[in-house]
Amino acid sequence: MKIIVIDYDAGNTANVLRALSKIGMPAELSQEASKILTADGLILPGVGAYPAAMAELHKRGLVSVIKEAVAQGTPLLGICLGMQVLTEVGLEHQETEGFGFIPGVCRPIKATKTMPVPHIGWNDLSVIQDSPLTDGLARQSVYFVHSYFTDVPKAYIDVTTDYGMAIPAMIHKDNVYGAQFHPEKSGDVGLGILKAFTQLCEQK
């Protein structure tokens, strides 16, 4: 069993690796195509801007490699920015093409007096439809840090949180999953999500 955390200077990789270690799942940080293509599961973390992330992934030749792994059926979990780039297009600073695994657009959250942007803090989850990662998540609280949301069709939204609107908190299509919040910073609830993902990878 081998989980690869994609290495593209994404910022929160150490926390993700630490969280996986806590649940007894050894994982490796790598950008090597051979390791990515033979992994049982992939995690795409992310902190920062959509255009910069996609530029770095292209620069390292990782976009085509990740697409090939997903086409083979390898489960992929995108975290925070890593979830946002699963969409077709991002509108942060400029229009940027994403992976296109899940139809939709990554748009800015509209700030209000009571709902400032970035959205930072703990928020409760509402499960809209079940997925292999959603068991027991209803009304649980997790940690968010983001200024953009994934505007995707309802068919792909598993979990939402309320931040002046229903923000997609977890999305998925086929073997591609996304968490807008940070499981690695969300205590036992977040560790449970990572555990469920690793169990999914074991069934691959």
Residue from 92, 146, 184, 201 carrying the catalytic annotation: 184
**58 assigned to active site:** no
Report d(CA 18, CA 35) in Å as an integer. 20
Q: Angle of helix 50-59 relative to helix 62-71, nearest 10 degrees? A: 90
**119 assigned to active site:** no
Residue from 119, 172, 182, 201 carrying the catalytic annotation: 182
Residue from 58, 80, 93, 146 carrying the catalytic annotation: 80
β-strand pairing of 166-173 with 176-179: antiparallel
Report d(CA 46, CA 149) in Å as an integer. 14
- Which residues is 44 bridged to in the sheet? 78
**184 assigned to active site:** yes
Q: How many CB atoms lie within 10 A of CB 124?
A: 14
For the annotated catalytic residues, the residue numbers are: 80, 182, 184
